[in-house]
Structure formats: structure tokens, C-alpha cells
Chain A
């Protein structure tokens, strides 16, 4: 099969990866099936050691699978590596990479040559990307003098040199401060939005990041995909009821009257004070309202008129992706490393100090 635009951007079937290690073999991936459409922003969300980095290494032709096949726009990762490398690029976070002796602009130009750009075209593209990622002031600065965030921006510029069809981002904001991480996320979103069809595969263990950026997410744990869907779809899996936070100016008779309305599971006073401590004191009532479904809200709003109450604020409380993970796995992200240690779950080299995955079976 040869590559084409009609093919899925990423098509992985039964990807398995087993490392031979002492005292026992480590299964990093246990039969991953994944299809990402061209133009999609897809996320792999999972704790350290879930297998995300191993999968990205296989998809970027850095590592061979023990079993299974994977194709990038129809090109096989095992046999058509050169073709894949021309149409994809990757950026990893959490590392201090770069040739310290070179200036930022020089290093980028060097890679432009490795990506087959002509000398003049290479400089033009480098200058364009340096400006785009906000490194204009550092363009002639040595790489060794750049901050972690600046290095990551430079790394992004390198990853965009060949304008990849598929951009693999492996924990791109790992180790960055809040401001730098936000800046990097804006870069990703900006780059993708500029031209329709650009595909991104992002691995992260930051749930808010996955929620904010990804159109679809695969939740990964211990080498397996547990669920795939949009963030909203995934959350709906655990949200069997609709939860609202309702703030009223007053409520005669208390929230008990609301609890008896059709479709209302419960209505409980949550707080009897204004949210803003500096605001004038008023008799606000805050209610946690649990409904069987969203449509029951209309009946509640109609009933409030009859009770002489006016809505000050209304917000729907949604479950987080962590709730989804807990529902699927039975433990939180934070519990994972301890569980991994006690159960000898594989810990990915990139993510956790390399357990020396020497051999593949």
C-alpha cells in the first residue's frame, strides 16, 4: 500500500511492544488499535508508564513494534520510514536537547538542510519560524544560553521546518512553567488552525491540556487503550446525571420545593453567602441541583418564577477527565506510579528514568 491523502493519518493495528528486561519482560504496549483522521487533533492521555511514549516512538519510526502494523498516511512505519520522515515531525518535552555551541538560528538551519530545504529556502523558513514562535530576540543566541521554555520553542520551530502532515508531540509542556506551557499550547493551536488538514497526535498526562486541545482522546493505561472519544463523550460515560450550581437571590421555603419537581434528583443548599466577599451582603441562596437530564432544567426555571426567586448565576458542573480515568481504571493518575512499582508495571524510559528496556522479544 502506498501513501495517500485518502488514507488515515495514523492507522495502528494490534501494536504490541515487549521489552526484555530483568527480572521479567515488560509489556509496554499490549495490542493498540488506533485510527486518526487527517486534520484531527488527537490526544493520548495516560499516567507515566502507560505506553504513550512507546507508541509515539513506533509511529515516528524510532522503534519497531514487536507485533502489529502501523501506517502514517498509508506508509508502513517498518518499511517506508524515509517517506514517513518527510511528512511528519516530532517534538518531545521534558528534556534539554540542542547543540549548545550553535546559535538558535544555526541549529534550525542545520535541520532545514537535513529536511531537504535549499540553503536560501532554509534560512527563509528558519527566520519565519523563529518569528512565529517568538524567539526573534534570541535568534543569534547560543542554544546553551536559552531557557527551558525558549529551547522548547526552538524545538517547536525545528518540528515545523518541514511543515509536517502529522505532528507528534510527546508531553510537549512537561517541565515548563505555566507561562511557557501556555505559550507552547498557543503555538500548537495556532499552527494547526492556520491550515486545515494538519494532524496532531499529542501525548500528555495533563488532563486539562488534553481537554483543552484535543478533539478526540484515547485514555491509555498499562499499554492498552481503555476508551476513545471526544472529551465530552468520555465525560458523558461517567456523567449519568446533570449537575448544576444554581445561585438565586432568594428562595422562599428553601430548596426542598425544587427537589419535588419532575426530573430533579436532588436540590441541596450548598452555600448561603455571596461568592465575592467584597460584594454587598445579600440573601443569596446557592443550590447544588442534580437532574436526571438537562431537559429537566426548564421545569426548574419555570418553577422559580412561581417561587418568586430570580437566577443570579447558573453553571453546569461537568466531570473531569480524571473522573473518567478513575471510572475506567479504578484509581487516579497520582496512584499510578505507586501501583506501577508494586505491580512492576512498565515505566517508559522517556518518562521515568529508563528501566533499561534492553531487549525485545
Chain B
């Protein structure tokens, strides 16, 4: 006989239908993050983990650095910090944005558990964020290793004493929130789609790569693309991290003839301007992502997509 440790009379407690709000949310988030860490980090297969989380971002950065070296010659050395930081941060963006979307696809297609998670009383988005945060952490490790390779192997000048720690802390927090918001948007999209949408996050992030100043300044882009870059919070986040790590270094936003210079009248944005722009654009993206996820989830539920599998 299975009584699950309960006695008669305990079962119909109306309070059971209410839950415990924030405590339940935190518990679900923590548990999902632990699950995500165990699953996403590929600890069971160190080779896979090394390839995807270390070798891939480092190789991407090295390719860009050597291309710069070939094209610009000795002048390219001065731009190495710019390229290394942008490249390292970009691996973080890719991991973060893809994290939630892949959690949706993994749980629905591979593990067939999405429906059980969905019909649990936990907040669906909280569980997805927990799963995604693990991938974000893996991305952060990759970014850190790329930066370390840049400093140690490529001789990127790096001085801990020069770092603007306050600016770094602020932009890292705001940037993480923004990346999570973009990840939520991709999760909402992937709820609507089939298994071929595994590539969607990388496609979207790849498109953004061109316009947010990751490896070259916005000023080289046509004005409409510069305008797009200026409203993207990722642009300000990358610029903020660069400014914090290498104060006085080249900016990806301003420069002679840039749209920023035309609009603001200054050559480069100040740290304060970067933070304000990141805060505002990040808030808009976060708000929009919440709305999009809510409507996307409702649409998926309405159309029977939550547990749809494609037989893979």
C-alpha cells in the first residue's frame, strides 16, 4: 500500500492550492540551476566540455586576432584588447542567449520532460531561467579563459590596478539581466517551433554580432546599422566592459564621423552615459521579453505545442 506518508484528513487542506510564493520560486530556481549545471556543463564528458566551452571561444578569438595581425600589421597589436574582450564577451552572449531556448528544446524533444515541468506548480519561466543560468555560467568560464589566453599568450596589456571595478560590476549585472531577457525571447520563440530551431539562437546572435561592436567599431557601419546598434543593450554592455577593463582604450561606439558623435557631439560616450544607455535599453528589452514570453507561452498552450515532439 502506498500512502506517501500522509494521513486521511491531511489531503484536502485548501492551503495546499495556494503555495508559498517566493520560497517556492527560489527553491525551483535553485533546483533548476543545479540540474542545468549538471546537464549543460558536460562534466561527465570533459572532452566535450573542453571543446565547446574552452577551445571554441579561444579559437574564435585567436582567429580574429591573427586576421587583424595579417590585415593591420604591427598596428593591429594596439587593437588586440578590443578584439579579445569583444570576442570573449561574445561567447558569453551566445551561451547565455541559447541557454533557455536549448533547455526548452532539450526538455521537450530529448528528455520528454517539458510537459511534466510545465504542469508542476512551479513557475515555468523560473525553471527555465534556472536551467539557463547554468549555461550562462559555462559561458562566463569560457569568456574568462579567453581573456586569460589573450593576456598570457597574446600579451594583451592588462593591469588589475587600472580596472574601473564599479563600472565593471554595474555593467556585468545589467548585461547579465539583458542577456537573460534575450534568452527568454528565444525560449518563447522555440516554444512555437520544431526541432530545427536548435540553430535559431546562434543565428540571431550571429546577426547581432555584426551591429553591436563586438569585434569592430560601429563607425565602420552604415548609419542605419549604427542606429540599430545604438538601441541594442549588448552594444552598451560590451562598450562598458571594455571601458572598465581597459580605461581610455578604443571605443566601439564613438569615433570620428560616428553616429554617436553626430548625435551627442562628443567623440566617445562617458562611463555614465554607457551605464544610463545600458540601463534604459536593457529595461526596454527586459520588459519586452516578459511580454513576449507571456504571450508565447499562452500561444503554445493554446495550440498544443508544449509537449509536441517531432520524433527525433
A residues at B contact (CB < 8 Å): 3-5, 19, 57, 60-64, 75, 82-90, 92, 95-102, 110-111, 113-116, 124-125, 128-129, 132-133, 158, 160-163, 165, 187, 190-191, 193-198, 349-350, 353-354, 356-360
CA distance A113 to B126 in the complex (A): 13
**Measured between alpha carbons, how far is A19 from B28 in the docked complex, in Å?**
33
Which residues does B use to contact A, with CB under 8 Å?
1-8, 11-12, 14, 16-20, 23-24, 27-28, 30-31, 34-35, 38-39, 44, 111-113, 115-122, 127, 301-304, 306-311
CB contact under 8 A between A86 and B17, given known A98-B111, A354-B308: yes
- A194 and B117 in contact, given A57-B304, A63-B304 (Cβ under 8 angstroms): no
Q: Whose C-beta in chain A lies nearest to the C-beta of B42?
A: A101
A165–B304 CB distance below 8 A: no
Residue in contact with B116 in the complex, picked from A158, A160, A198, CB distance below 8 Å: A158
How many angstroms between the C-alpha atoms of A4 and B301 in the bound complex? 26
- For residue A98, which residues in chain B have a CB less than 8 angstroms away from its CB? 111-113
Which residues in A have their C-beta under 8 angstroms from that of B117? 114
A308 to B108, CA, bound (A): 71
CA distance A126 to B158 in the complex (A): 51
Whether A114 contacts B44 by the Cβ 8 Å rule is: no
Bound complex: CA A124 to CA B6 (Å)? 12
Q: Closest CB of chain A to B120's CB: distance in Å?
A: 4
The chain B residue sitting closest to A65, CB to CB, is: B302
State how many angstroms separate the Cβ of A4 from the closest Cβ of chain B.
7
> B121 and A116: CB pair below 8 A?
yes
Are A132 and B115 in touch, CB under 8 angstroms?
no
Interchain residue pairs A-B with the least CB separation, the first 7: A97-B112, A113-B31, A83-B17, A194-B3, A191-B2, A85-B121, A114-B120
On whether A132 and B2 interact (CB within 8 A), knowing A101-B38, A114-B127, the answer reads: yes
- B residues near A195, Cβ cutoff 8 Å: 3, 6-8, 11
- Is there contact, CB below 8 Å, between A165 and B309? no
B7: nearest chain-A partner, CB-CB: A195
Which of chain A's residues have a CB closer than 8 A to the CB of B1? 190-191, 193-194
CB distance from A118 to the nearest CB of B (A): 8
